[in-house]
Each structure stands twice: as C-alpha cells, then as structure tokens.
Structure 1
Amino acid sequence: MNWLAGLIDRVAAQSTTDWTFVERLPDPGLGIADRAIEPDECYIEIFVESLRLKQARRLATAFHGVVYLFARLSQQGDEDAEMAAVSKPAKLAELDSTNLDRVITVSSQMMGAVPWRGGTLGLELGLFSVKKGNLLSPLIDYVTRVSAQGGISFIGQVKPFLPLITEGMDLIAGQTSDSVIEVALDTDMALSESRLCAIVAVPKGGINTAKLTLDPSDRKLLIDGRPLEEGYCVFSIRRSDKKADYGAIPELKAAFGALRSAIAANDTAQSERALAAFRRSVIISSDLIPADKNRLIEKATALHAAALGSGPIAVGRAETAILDVGASELADLDLYDETGSGGPDGKESRGTGSW
C-alpha cells in the first residue's frame, strides 16, 4: 500500500527517516524465534512486544500512543491478502512527558493467524504519539473501532475497512503540530522462520546492532546489557500451527449455521446440499491452511452422518467429541480436539486484537 512510506517523508519528527531495522534479535528463551515457516503448512501472527517513546516530548502535553500495522501476503490463485490494524494500547493512553522514560511492555497481537502461502511479507509498522485533544482523540477512537470491526485475522472481512483505516490514519498523522512518528518501517521480508525484530529511532549505521538483546523478563531492548535509551518498537513474526478463532470465520460460520439448521429440520436432502455448500466454502476459504480445511470438512461430514445416518453410531474420537459438545456452533466442531482448553496450546485465543 505504501501509505506509511509517503507519510514518513511528510511528517517525520527528526532529520533522518532511515531508522535502524534489526531483522533478527536473539531470542532470550521466549520460544518465539527460529521456528520454521513453511508455505501452506502454518499460519503467521504479528505481535508488538515492547515500546519506548521519545519524540513525544515535543508535544509538551498529554498524548496517546498509537500503533499502525499493514501487512500484505501472497495468496494462491488470487490477489494478495491485505491486513491492517490500528490500536491504542491502554498502556499508551493519556501519557505525558513524565512517562517517557518507561518501556511499555505489551506483547499483544496486531495480526491474527493468517495462512502463509510463501513469497514475501510486505510490512508497514508505525508507532505514533498523538496530542490529546478535542479533534484527534475522537478520531483515534473511531479508527481504532473501525480496525476492531474489520478484525485482524479474517482476510475477507477486513478488506472493506482498509480504506477507512488508512484514511483515518492519514488524517491523524497529517496534523503535523499534534502528531509525531516515533519509529516506522516499510519493507518486504522473505520468511523462512519466526523471528523477533526491532525498529530503533537511530539512523542506520548509528548503533551496533550486534550488541542489542532483549530482557527476558519484560522484553525491553538492551545494548551491552543496559536499557537502550532511544525510541524503539520490538515486534515478533510468529509461526502458529493452529487458528484459534476458526469458529468465527464469517462465511464458514454462516455455512455451518445453514447445515446445522438443515440437520435440526431432519431434512436429508436439504442437509446434504448444505453439507456440500459448507464443503465448498471451506475449500475456497482464504483463512485456513489445507490441513485444517480437510480436518474441518471431515468433522462436519462426521456430524452429518451421526445425526442423519442409520445404524449404530461410530465411537471413534472425532464422532464422540462431536456428539459430546452438540456442535451448535462452528467452534463446537473442536477442530484441534481441544475441548475445554480455551484454544490452541491450552491458551486463551487473542484473535480479537484487544490490548
């Protein structure tokens, strides 16, 4: 989209806009980096890990911290997928100059699990400080709500919201006396493994990146083992084997609802048509990797057979799990056989983009 690249040239708060980009930071035992990212075998997620603000001093008043993300990913047989998000983290709300020595640890999701098809990742990431005021504060709230409505994980759902998000950010950042870019990045990345990265508000070549590490306790950026006293944003690009929010994919949720209604009506012909429609929706979905598509179709087919088939019900694991939960919603199909775990790896899903 290149919106951020043009904006950097217009409203940067320092003489140089060629900030230092550290494409790989050593993982201090967080288990994030160096996991293989393979086309059609996994999802990728983007998290902001920690932040330090510095340029906001020029605003000389209370301000909001705003994070903007835009990502472009390849799609097989289709145009590239585009995702965008704007967030106003609670920890960056209504700060003032007395807060600027603090490192803000967030470790929060900016892009949910999206299938990795290979190719390159186009990435724009910007950290802004925006003066609190009658004009910009409501606009920030509006753009943040639009971003949340668009979602950070569903390719088809976010597309209509992309112009509103970027136009809203253009209005915010265009108020040059009331907003400032702390750090920003506009790049294309080839991915073969997950990684921890950083953008540092120092001109390229002005810092020895080999001396940069992360504090494992709060993910602050260190240089020679001491806290770095510059503005920065640490973020991660993570591999995920599972899509925790698969049950909320809009078109699949609707197709499964139709299937569930047909089964409840005890209409075999209608339910078979609904199952075929659900299968088509899953196959053409841009939000799932092939293995998860196959698994979801198998689960729905087993549910249909168990509900409307004749003879004894099979007692295999898939059928038992389905009958135990009743499958009133798509998420009840328990795609990863993790009933009661709260999500993949036993963790709560963070696909809402909430900070």
Structure 2
Amino acid sequence: MSILEGIFEKKSTSWTYSPIAAQQAPAGNPPQQLLPDRCYLHVFLRSMKILNTRELWKNYYPTTHSHIELGDISGKTANFNTVTTPGNLQAIDAAHVDLIVNISQRLLGPVPYRGGGLKLEIGLFSIKEQDLLKPFVSLLSNLSTLGGVSFLSAALPYAKPLEDGISLLTNTADTRLEIGLNTEFKDLTTGYYVVMRKDVDEININEVHVSPNDYRLLDKHGKTIKDAPYMVLEIMASTTREDYYNIPEVAASYNSLRSLLATGKTDEAKAALENLKRVMYNSPELIFSDSKEIFKKISQQVSEQLESLSPTKVSINGQLESLTLPKQLFLPELSEVLEGVQHYEGYNGYQENFLGVKVARPDLNKYQGDITCLTGSASTVLNYLNYSVELSSSRKFPFYSASNINGAAFKKAERSDRWRRDTRIAFDSQYGGELYSADHSNFDRGHMTKREDVQWGDQIGIAERAADSTFFFTNAVPQHARLNQRIWRKLEDYILHTEAVKNGYKISVITGPVLRAEDPTFLTRVNQIAVKLPTLFYKIVYYLKDGKDLYRTGFLMSQKSLLEKNNIIETSQLEALESAIPPFMDFDKAATYQVTVATIEKLTGLTFASAAEMFQDDKPIELIEKQVDVLESMPQGLDFDYSFGIANITL
C-alpha cells in the first residue's frame, strides 16, 4: 500500500527531510542504532506547522494520516494505520491559520523491533469541511484507536478498513496535501527527524533546532520558523514494555491462573502457570528478555502463595501436629506484577520554600500513631516528582498530597495511565487495582495531586516523568466519575490552566480526602477487608498576592449523594454521617465550593500553614457539608459553568 506515493509524484521532490543532530534536539534520545530483539520501537509525531494556504475554503480539517510497515516475529509484515484530527484544529477557520501544534501523537509502539527496515508514510492533509465529512473522519479516527499502534493482534483486523477509508479520504478534490513524508528506514536509528515544505537550498538543516519545551522548530537565533509547513518526528527505543499487562493473550492466561489460585485449585494453577510461560515466551508482542523477567516475577509470587499452604505445627492436646490452615490465595493485578522494579531517583518531593516563603506540609500531630512509614525507616513522607504524600495506616489513603506548580514551565505530555503500588512501603499498606476492579466499584482512581499539576520542568522528558509519578496508588482515592471527571476536574483545570499556566504563576496546592470514622463502607470487601470510602475532598491553594504577601484559599466537595445513589456504599451507615446535622432550610447546593481553611482543619484534624484569606464564611460545618454535596442531577460535561464563586482569587 502507498497512499501518498501518487500524491508525491505530483509534488516538488525538493522538500527538505533530514535527521536532527543530537546537539540540536531535546536531550535524552541521542542517535543510536536499534538492535534486533533487544528493544521496543516507538514513533511519535511531536509537532506540526500549518499555514494559511486554503483562503478559498471557509473551514477545514487539518488531518494527519500515517501508515507504517514493520517486520514481526513470524517474518511477515505488520501494518499500523492512524488517522487523527487534533481537537484544537477541528473545523478551523482558514483565515486564522498560522499554528504550530504540539500533539505528541504516537504513530507506533511500543512494538518489538525484530530487525530490518521500517516503511513510513505520513501526511498532513487539509480536508474541506462538509456535512458528511466530519463523521467520516471521526469514524476513521475511532478505527485507529481501536486498532491501536502497539499490539499486532489488535491492529490486524482494522488494517484493511482503515486503508480503504484513508484511500477514499485522500483521493478527493476536497483533500489537499500540506506536507508529507514517504520513506524507508533501512537501519533504524533513534532521534529526531524533520520534514519541511521548503527547498533544500533554502535552509541549512545544521542550523535548525528542536525546542525542548514544545518541539517547535527554531532557527539559529532561537526564533520560531514560521514560513513553511513542517512535521517533527521522533524515533525512540526502550528495553521494557510498560503496557505488557494489556497484551490480550498474556492477560487472558494470567487471569485464568489468578482465578484458579483464588478458588484453591492449586494443581490446575500449576498447569496454568506453565501455559502462561509458553504464551509469554512465544508472544509476538514481547522481546524475550522482557518475557523472561515478567514471568520470573509471576512465578516467584505463585511460589510464595503456594508455600503459604505448607503445613503448620500446632499443639493439640499437648501434641504437635501438622495442619494446613485454610487460606485464600491471592495474586495481584497483572499490571502490578513488576512493582518490585521501580525507580525513584530524582524524586525531589514537595518543596516548602517553593514560593519564596515557607508553606509547610500539613501537621499530622493528631494522627502520629496512624502514619505509614517507609520500610526500614522512621520517615513517613513519600516523595515523588514535584509532590509528596503521607499515608494513613488504618485507611490506606493519603492524609494529603502536597504539590508545587510552576505555570511558566508547564509542558504538554502524553498520559501514561501506568498505575502501580509504591514499593518503598509494605504491599498491604496501600490499596491497588483490587479495590478499583472490585464488584460495585463504580468509581475512578481519583488523583489527589493532578497529573498535569506537576507536569513541568526544563525539559519535556522531566515533565513526562513527573506526570507519570502521579500514577501511584498512594496518590489515589476512590472518586465517583461525576465528581472526578466533571466538577472536581473543572476546579483543577481552573487552578492550573486559567491561573497558573496562563499567567506563569508559581503556586502550591494541598489536596486530600477527609478521613472520618463515620465514612460509609464500600459494599464489597477487598481482600476480606471492609473499606471505608471518603465522602469529602478538600483542596487548598497557596499563592503570593502581588508577588509578596502569602494568601490561601480552600475548596471542599462531597460525593456522599453520588455514592448513595449509585449503590456503592452501605446506605444504612449514612445515618451516622448525618445524625449530627440539625434540620435546616434547603438552598442551592451548587452555589459555591469555596470554604475557609479553618473549616477544612476542623473536618480533617490537620493543621495547615498560616496565610491570609480573602474568603470569609461563618456558616456552620453541617450546613457547608450539605452545600458542597455534588448531586447526580447536576448537568453533565465540562462545558457547564458550575460557578465556583471564587472570592478575590487573583493570584
């Protein structure tokens, strides 16, 4: 297949295409030749530049298409196709197009590199807006998502429909190629590559740089190149595959093994373990060294579980006898198998003097006997990149998650969704995937420190690693989707994007659940443990007003009604939660979610760093709790104006 080949024949053959030297590109991915069966291959479209070239079309869709051919373990060729229209470029007004878009679109990977070359076609097309066109582009984009770019077995069924659809899309009078590349990499080398609609004699590629902030192209003076369309590509390699647990055949075999162990069928479980070994060692989705390491971890955990069934000596009527005590065997979620291989280097944690004045972590004096310690240490603070957490031993949820936000250094980055336990503390001192996959778990893994809040740094790689560090279960608390994905997220986006990023501010944020003895119990026991689910969540923002005086403002939201209405908690226990609330007159619950920090201190039992507050409210706590409850009947979506009623929060 070659969708672009015929198009290129009609275009200038002097478009510039070249690798970018290491000293002219972001650090961390120098040019290195890939070795067969030693690594996984990744290909990204990092940024693209479009120009105002379609004045006669009122609106159009800049749409990228890529087609990649790569050899697989059987010696055959695997095809991967993508079609995407970045959300901020849909139906764009042609009169206002002069954009550089940092999309970091994954075109391929991670897939095992088996040797040989890689054929790549990629094109940026202008597609005239029509009534029937938008759903067609959306359909192709959805097929791309379903097929994926990392699993050979998943991509295969969608290859032909995508090829046919792309061919129809790109061979019409209303589709025009802005910039494209049709090439074959015979000896794959990591690094950055640029293709530009500019004659090779018009530009010295040795003077072109890729910005470490957003991947835009810069000239020798550090100025943005604006006079030609271009695309920046990156080829990467990794020695491990972090999404191994999503490989369909591996996940199916592991879950069968897990189920057999949980039901006590040990002989069948041993056979299932051998079958899993065969599946993993022969998987086209894994390199052998990775298969071996992952299976070794699984085998060790199965052995530990089986050894726990060994006879125990007990005294019966004064005689020692060997008995096998009943026990339910347990294997973690497949995504958690490799949690023993974690890297915490450079995890600087929350910085108390980040704003130039001290904003201390919350004082937990009231809970000194209930704070989780790091294994082999008296320390209780878990440091991550740009944020820190302290965990409740009894509840296994964080008391708080404190973060530093640098709006001026914010970077866009791809979301990892690689949730895992923190191996610096005991396995059973934190909930993992078993809580969020249990029956009736109609809730999200709610980030306390938002992924994007810590997604900053001098280099994109630093920001990406910081964002990934928020996917520890120690930073998560169950939140219903109507809270986590809507109004809570709306508040987080307001703080980060409307204030910090837009204005380049530095702020510090402390977030957490309100952990109370009266919290309702989750309907499902997890590892035979009754789990109390928090109903209230707080967020405190510290900022400098006029660059000198320290201020703070607090927010509070409740998911009590959402947990009750969606059959997640034992509702009989809500009486204890509400027994202290005297009768009072109803009012608009969505009026405001802003509260005084003193209110949060009374509810949590924590003490927060002192600062001035503009918002004042003398309502009783019982009334505030009812006011901040998020209801099932509230409007859906992020476009609804929830009107936070933020008082004088000009950072």
Question: Is this a same-fold pair by TM over 0.5?
Answer: yes
Match of 2:209 in 1: 213
Name the CA distance, whole Å, in 2 between partners of 1:76 and 1:214. 34
Asked which structure has the greater RCO (Cα within 8 Å, sep 6+), the reply is 1
2:124 pairs with 1:120: no
8 Å CA contact 1:49, 1:105 repeated in 2: yes
2:344 pairs with 1:348: no
Which range moves more in the overlay, 253-262 or 26-35? 26-35
Q: Deviations over 1:142-162 (max 9, x none)?
A: 000001011111111101101
Task: Please report how far the alpha carbon of residue 74 of structure 1 lies from its aligned counterpart in structure 2 after TM superposition.
Answer: 2.3
Secondary structure of the structure 1 residue equivalent to 2:218: strand
Match of 2:527 in 1: none
8 Å CA contact 1:56, 1:180 repeated in 2: no
Match of 1:238 in 2: 236
8 Å CA contact 2:26, 2:210 repeated in 1: no
Show the 5 A alignment for 1:1-355.
Answer: 1-9=1-9, 15-16=11-12, 18-26=14-22, 27-54=24-51, 56-58=53-55, 60-176=57-173, 178-191=174-187, 193-225=189-221, 226-228=223-225, 229-309=227-307, 310-311=309-310, 327-334=331-338, 337-338=341-342, 339-340=420-421, 348=468
Name the CA distance, whole Å, in 2 between partners of 1:6 and 1:327. 54
TM-score (normalizing by structure 1): 0.84
Match of 2:461 in 1: none
Which range moves more in the overlay, 329-338 or 280-289? 329-338
Q: Deviations over 1:269-300 (max 9, x none)?
A: 32122112211111111111111100121122
Which range moves more in the overlay, 60-69 or 152-161? 60-69
Secondary structure of the structure 2 residue equivalent to 1:3: coil
Q: Deviations over 1:242-291 (max 9, x none)?
A: 22211111111111111111112211232122112211111111111111
Q: Deviations over 1:195-245 (max 9, x none)?
A: 100111124545332232223333212333333210111110111232221
Secondary structure of the structure 1 residue equivalent to 2:4: helix
Q: 1:168 to 1:192 in 2, by over 3 A?
A: closer
Name the CA distance, whole Å, in 2 between partners of 1:25 and 1:95. 34
8 Å CA contact 2:217, 2:224 repeated in 1: yes
Task: Please report how far the alpha carbon of residue 140 of structure 1 lies from its aligned counterpart in structure 2 after TM superposition.
Answer: 0.5
Task: Please report how far the alpha carbon of residue 18 of structure 1 lies from its aligned counterpart in structure 2 after TM superposition.
Answer: 4.8
Paired residue type of 2:50: L
Name the CA distance, whole Å, in 2 between partners of 1:122 and 1:270. 45
Task: Please report how far the alpha carbon of residue 7 of structure 1 lies from its aligned counterpart in structure 2 after TM superposition.
Answer: 4.3
Name the CA distance, whole Å, in 2 between partners of 1:132 and 1:233. 23
8 Å CA contact 2:32, 2:189 repeated in 1: yes
Name the CA distance, whole Å, in 2 between partners of 1:151 and 1:234. 21
Q: 1:347 to 1:274 in 2, by over 3 A?
A: farther
Structure label with greater radius of gyration: 2
Secondary structure of the structure 1 residue equivalent to 2:115: coil
The count of aligned residue pairs is: 332
Match of 1:319 in 2: none
8 Å CA contact 2:55, 2:95 repeated in 1: no
Secondary structure of the structure 2 residue equivalent to 1:109: strand
Secondary structure of the structure 1 residue equivalent to 2:468: coil
8 Å CA contact 1:68, 1:87 repeated in 2: yes
- Give every structure 1 segment of 4 or more consecutive aligned residues whose post-TM-superposition deviation is greater than 6 Å: none
8 Å CA contact 1:59, 1:131 repeated in 2: no
Name the CA distance, whole Å, in 2 between partners of 1:223 and 1:142. 38
Q: Deviations over 1:332-351 (max 9, x none)?
A: 21266234479x966539xx
8 Å CA contact 1:195, 1:236 repeated in 2: yes
8 Å CA contact 2:25, 2:211 repeated in 1: yes
Q: Deviations over 1:111-169 (max 9, x none)?
A: 22111122111111111121222121111000000010111111111011011111111
Name the CA distance, whole Å, in 2 between partners of 1:214 and 1:35. 18
Paired residue type of 1:332: E
The structure with the largest helix share of the pair is 1
8 Å CA contact 2:5, 2:182 repeated in 1: yes
Name the CA distance, whole Å, in 2 between partners of 1:337 and 1:280. 23
Paired residue type of 2:161: L
TM-score (normalizing by structure 2): 0.48
Secondary structure of the structure 1 residue equivalent to 2:149: coil
8 Å CA contact 1:33, 1:238 repeated in 2: no
Q: 1:30 to 1:233 in 2, by over 3 A?
A: same
Match of 2:456 in 1: none
Task: Please report how far the alpha carbon of residue 84 of structure 1 lies from its aligned counterpart in structure 2 after TM superposition.
Answer: 1.9
Paired residue type of 2:468: E
Secondary structure of the structure 1 residue equivalent to 2:336: helix
Secondary structure of the structure 2 residue equivalent to 1:233: strand
8 Å CA contact 1:72, 1:80 repeated in 2: yes
Task: Please report how far the alpha carbon of residue 102 of structure 1 lies from its aligned counterpart in structure 2 after TM superposition.
Answer: 1.9
8 Å CA contact 1:46, 1:112 repeated in 2: yes
Task: Please report how far the alpha carbon of residue 101 of structure 1 lies from its aligned counterpart in structure 2 after TM superposition.
Answer: 1.8
